Structure 1
Amino acid sequence: MKFSWERNLVVLWTGVFFCSMAYSISIPFLPIYLNTELDVEHHLEAWSGIAFGITFLASALISPFWGSLADKYGRKPMLIRSGFSLAALYLLNYFVHDPYWFLVIRVFQGLLAGFVPASIALVATNTPEEKTGYALGIMSTAGATGSILGPLVGGVVSHYFGNREAFLFSSAIVLIAALVATFFAKEKNFNRKAVRSHVKDDLKHALANRSFSLLLMIVAVSTFSVMILEPLITVYVLKMGISKESASLSSGIIFSAVGIATVIMAPRWGKWGRKIGYEKVLLIGLIGSGIGNVLQIFVTGYVGFGVLRFGYGLFFAGVNPSINAMIVQNTEPEFRGRAFSLNQSASQLATMAGPIIGGLLGGIMPIHYIFVLNGCALLLSALLFKMMIQHKSSALSRHHESSKHRTASR
């Protein structure tokens, strides 16, 4: 059968969608599960925070290793490894009755993760260059859509069937993703004779690439800008006068507004990036989302807050597809799997640190000031990125001038 990048995109979108949904299914009831099923009565907040963050920490630390294997043995084997491993681990959660064993399984979930970065790397390396931005924009919607629907599905399943049974549902969904990747995903552009690198060398290589290093920093800041608000939005909504009975639903709607905006706008940003340049789209996304956060200091009502978050999401939707496309532009093909794994590490570390720092800051300052700090960090990232573009442009023009002089002197 002739290779079709469009078919591959649909297959990998489906896999990432199911994988993202499976993880986020447990978010609404994780503290309840620890309390009612695993008998955690003291320090429940700490247990919940550790159970949430430890998976991301483990994933961040191991991602460069999986990226090295992906560049040696292929991205599809990483999809299969991760998919079936996670399906088994979600199944094990159903049988756990001890909170410490639950944490051990959460650690292994992080250590054996990698489905999403491998999928993005596979799309990036097996899509025609002129279609890469569009394809990566589409892939951004897979994770966003899965993360939006996951908590809703998890809430329904846990309510009607039970918290343990929700883990069975997660296991089944990841198994579907693994089977889809095994039988339908194709990998064409891959050099199987490549020598496997060491993680230490990969980190040195990444740091030597200034453009790529700055992109990793922007990934961390942009992910942090979303996750720092996770422990604060419900509290913020309560301070706006929303009743405790409807606060969870209201904050859930507001939090999902960013994801909905991403689903709407990410493919469009990908297309525009191909036309006007991904650098411009990334700048627009960072500046727009930065201003959207700063403007929060002027909004005190629930409706205005929701509208502002949605507007922020429309701009933020341009950030990740542009970064992914620029990673392709700024790294060698043989380094690409490791590049996307390092990208995943930066994102996972920010995902872990965001809620912790957000909770600490929320205890010492008014929440709307945290939005302002958040916005300033995004605007600073935009400034640094703009300076990098100008530096590269001037260096390129100097190179052209020196080439002309050498040619003329001959």
Structure 2
Amino acid sequence: MLAFGFVLPFLPLYLKEIGVHPDSAVVFWSGALVTSTGISLAIFSPIWGALADRHGRKVMVLRSMLVGGLIIALMGLVQNVEQFLVLRILQGVFTGTIAAATALVATIVPRDRLAASMGQLQTSVYVGIAAGPVLGGVIAQAVGIRGTFFVAGAMLAVSGLLVWQFVHEHYTPPSTARRPGFFETFGRGLRSRTLMPLMVTLFLVQLSTAIVFPILPLYVERISSATDPVKLYAGLAFGATAVFAALAAVFYSRLVDRSGYRRILIFACFGAAVFFLPQAFVQNIAQFLLLRSGVGIFFGVLIPATNAIVGLSTPMELRGSAYGLTSSATAVGNAIGPLLGSTLAANLGYASVFIATAGVLTVLGLWVIGLVREPAS
């Protein structure tokens, strides 16, 4: 995630560099590029998840990192937005790193350590997201945005080699007699009264995260002064959320032991809504960073808690497929979120994006109250 976080905050600025103008076109293409990756990821995640159950989860992690590294490095060579779009689609087809890693962790740790392990995994994700924009901002200021793609691709490739060398999976293929087919598994997941509400939960969480992606650097530019380092502040806006999310993910398992998953999810949904709403009315970058940090605390709980419920509610031999389906739901949120955000910004202004996100999170809290079940002990 450090590598992925290098480039995402600067996507609108990179579009300007490769010839996309005016700002309205930049907003549109920013949303379209993120959406395209989300759509292709949504289509292919269940397929990769089913393959993970049949051939092992470690090989899926290697696939996502090594091929993803090559694709991201190639993004530094694009000459126009159409080439960039093709590579963003391919990124969605071949990556899915977090889902692959989540499925691997869920199958190699004991049940009583799943909540803590999901928190630790999500902490590593958020640390990468936090450090990536900041370090990416430094590199972008020094060598240009194109250079960040090359560095990010190399880092993903190195990460894949580390997994290949040091991560060990004792995988036993399920017997063909009790192995459900892909379409059977897919249909069973969509009909599940346990898994389906969790898929919707992750969809809305990711939509709430991704809805600001196309406009965040431009919003930072608007509330900053003319002499401010906008690229660095854009990185900090992403990084502040991720830092506090990482801290929350470390400690959330202790709260789960006391209050249960469901109560924690409800509290996190409404808490995130409270911190999102005032972002529409900030007057300077300091206020904005403070509120982004508060949002991170609650987002740091939402994803690992939901993923832990998925693992606790799914048989071991089907966890790859389950996380493939939830990854697909997450990817749909990642696809629709930027498109919705850019549409709202273009028609109603930047502030409407933050107000709408607060509304989505409020609806999510009500959804959890009504339909998400506490997993069995």
Q: TM-score, normalised by structure 2?
A: 0.87
2:7 corresponds, among 23, 26, 30, to 26
Contact 1:73 1:192 (C-alpha < 8 Å) held by counterparts: no
* Secondary structure, aligned partner of 2:169: coil
Equivalence for 1:14: none
Residues 202-351 of structure 1 mapped to structure 2, 5 A cutoff = 202-234=185-217, 236-237=219-220, 242-246=224-228, 247-294=230-277, 296=279, 302-351=285-334
Say whether residues 1:182 and 2:129 are aligned partners. no
Asked if structure 1 preserves the Cα contact closer than 8 Å seen for 2:10 and 2:217, the reply is: no
1:344 alignment partner AA: S
Contact 1:125 1:189 survives alignment (8 Å): no
Are residue 144 (structure 1) and residue 105 (structure 2) matched? no
> Residues of 2 paired with 1:101 and 1:341: CA distance?
28
TM-aligned CA deviation for residue 91 of structure 1? 3.9
Q: Structure 1 41/389 Cα, relative in aligned 2: closer, same or farther at 3 Å?
A: closer
Secondary structure of residue in 2 paired with 1:326: helix
State the distance in 1 between where 2:221 and 2:78 align: 35
Q: Is 2:111 aligned against 1:129?
A: yes
Secondary structure of the residue aligned to 1:317 is helix
- Within 2, Cα distance between the matches of 1:40 and 1:373? 27
Shift of the 184–234 alpha-carbon distance from structure 1 to 2, 3 Å rule, reads closer
Q: Which amino acid aligns with 1:226?
A: T
Q: 1:156 aligns with which of 126, 138, 149?
A: 138
What one-letter code is carried by the residue in structure 1 that aligns with 2:175?
A: K
Q: Residues 111 and 312 from structure 1, CA distance in 2 versus in 1: closer, same or farther, beyond 3 angstroms? A: same
Contact 1:261/1:317 (<8 A) preserved: yes
Which ranges in structure 2 are unaligned for 5 or more consecutive residues? none
Superposition deviation, residue 45 in structure 1: 4.8
Indicate conservation of the 8 Å contact 1:223/1:347, yes or no.
yes
RMSD between superposed Cα atoms in Å: 2.9
Q: Distance in 2 between matches of 1:145 and 1:85?
A: 22
Call closer, same or farther: CA 1:51–1:39 in 2, change over 3 Å: same
Q: Which has the larger radius of gyration?
A: 1
Q: Which moved more, 1:146-155 or 1:67-76?
A: 146-155
**1:132 and 1:81, CA in 2 relative to 1: closer, same or farther beyond 3 A?**
same
TM-score (norm 1): 0.80
Higher relative CO (Cα under 8 Å, sequence separation at least 6) belongs to 2
1:64 correspondence with 2:12: no
In the other structure, the counterpart of 1:201 is 184
Question: What amino acid maps onto 1:331 in structure 2?
Answer: T
SS of 2:348's equivalent in the other structure is: coil
Q: 1:102/1:336 Cα in 2 relative to 1: closer, same or farther (>3 Å)?
A: same
Instruction: In structure 2, give the amino acid aligned to 1:205.
Output: R
1:48-127 counterparts in 2 under 5 A? 48-94=30-76, 96-97=78-79, 99-127=81-109
What CA distance in whole angstroms lies between the structure 2 residues aligned with 1:289 and 1:251? 20
Cα-to-partner distance string for 1:261-280 (whole Å, 9 max, x where unaligned):
11111110123223432222
Once residues 236 and 30 of structure 1 are traced to their aligned partners in structure 2, the CA distance between those partners, rounded to angstroms, is 13
**Please, which runs of 5 or more residues in structure 1 have no aligned partner?**
1-19, 397-410
Contact 1:84 1:174 in 2 (8 A): yes
- Using the TM superposition, name which of 210-219 and 300-309 deviates more: 300-309
Deviation of 1:71 (Å): 0.8
Q: CA deviation at 1:65?
A: 0.5
- 3-state SS in 2 of match to 1:106: helix
Aligned partner of 1:356 in structure 2 is 339
CA distance in 2, matches of 1:371, 1:196: 45
Residues 38-69 of structure 1 deviation map (CA, whole Å, 9 limit, x = unaligned): 56568555444433332222112111100010
Preserved CA contact (<8 Å) 1:296 1:368: yes
CA drift of 1:300 comes to 5.3
CA distance in 2, matches of 1:34, 1:239: 18
Question: Offset at 1:238?
Answer: 5.8
Question: How far 1:348 moved relative to its partner?
Answer: 1.7
The 2-side partners of 1:299 and 1:98 are apart by: 35
Change (3 A) 1:40 1:160: same
Change (3 A) 1:361 1:388: same
Aligned to 1:11: none
How far, CA to CA, are the matches of 2:19 and 2:350 in structure 1? 33
Contact residue 12 and residue 214 of structure 2 kept, 8 A: no
Shift of 1:114: 2.4
Q: CA deviation digits over 1:223-243, x for unaligned, max 9? A: 111221233445555665x31
Q: Percent identity?
A: 28
